[in-house]
Amino acid sequence: MRPFVIRVRLLCFGLLLGFGAVMPGGVSVPAMAAVDAFEFETDEQQRRFRQMSDDFRCPMCQNTSLTGSSGGVAEDLRREIYLMIMDGKTDEEIEQFMLERYGDFIFYRPRLTVETLLLWFGPLLFLVLGGWIILGIIRRAQPMTQEQVALNDEEQQRLKALLDNVKRD
C-alpha cells in the first residue's frame, strides 16, 4: 500500500503547483474610476488616457492604479499624462517619462527584461512542473494486467497454506 500513499501525496503536490501557476495572473481588482475633469479632442485620446491611468501604479498609495488613487502625486501624474497626450506624445514616450522618474515600480505590467523573466514566466514554469508531475503519476497509475497479478506456484502454495490455517481455526 505504501506506493499508493506516496502517489496521493505527489498528486496533491502536483495539483498545488499547477494551481499556484494559474493563480497570480487571475487576480486583478477593478479600480474605481476617479472623476477626471479633463477634456479631450478625440475619443482615442480619452481611451489612451484611461488605459494609461489604469496601467500605471500610484507610487504613494501602493496597490492602486493612478485611476483609482486620490493621492496628491497620483493627481499630478494623471495631469502629466493628460498634458503629454494633448501634446501629441506617444504611449512609448509617456512610459519612458514615467520610467525615468519612478522606475519599474510604476508599471503594473512589468517590462520584459532579464530581471523580470522569472516574474513573467515563473508561473508557466510552475505549470509545466506541476503538469509533468501529474503526468508521471497518471502514467505510473495504470491498472495492472492479469499476468502481473497472477501468482506463481510458490505463492499459490503459500496462499493455500494460509487459507487452510484459517479454516482450521
Q: Give the DSSP per-residue string, 61-81.
A: STTSBTTT--SHHHHHHHHHH
80-99 residues near another protein, rule: CB under 8 A: 80, 99
Contact between 18 and 46 under an 8 Å Cβ cutoff? The reply is: no
Backbone φ, ψ for residue 27 (5° rounding): -85, 115
Q: Which is nearer to another protein, 16 or 150 (CB)?
A: 16
At residue 112's C-alpha, the angle toward residues 108 and 117, to 5°, is 105
Q: For the CB of residue 13, give the shortest distance to another protein in the complex, in Å.
A: 5
Q: Which stretch binds another protein (CB under 8 A): 5-13, 37-45, 84-92, 151-159?
A: 5-13
Of these, 47, 50, 101, 158, which contacts another protein (CB under 8 A)? 101
Of these, 21, 52, 66, 77, which contacts another protein (CB under 8 A)? 77
Of these, 38, 40, 102, 108, which contacts another protein (CB under 8 A)? 102
- Paired strand residues for 107: 56
47-76 residues near another protein, rule: CB under 8 A: 59-60, 62, 71-73, 76
Between CA 35 and CA 106 the distance in angstroms is: 21
106-165 residues near another protein, rule: CB under 8 A: none
88 φ/ψ sector (left φ>0, alpha ψ -120 to 50, else beta): left
- List contacts with another protein (CB under 8 A): 6, 9-10, 13, 59-60, 62, 71-73, 76-77, 80, 99-103, 105
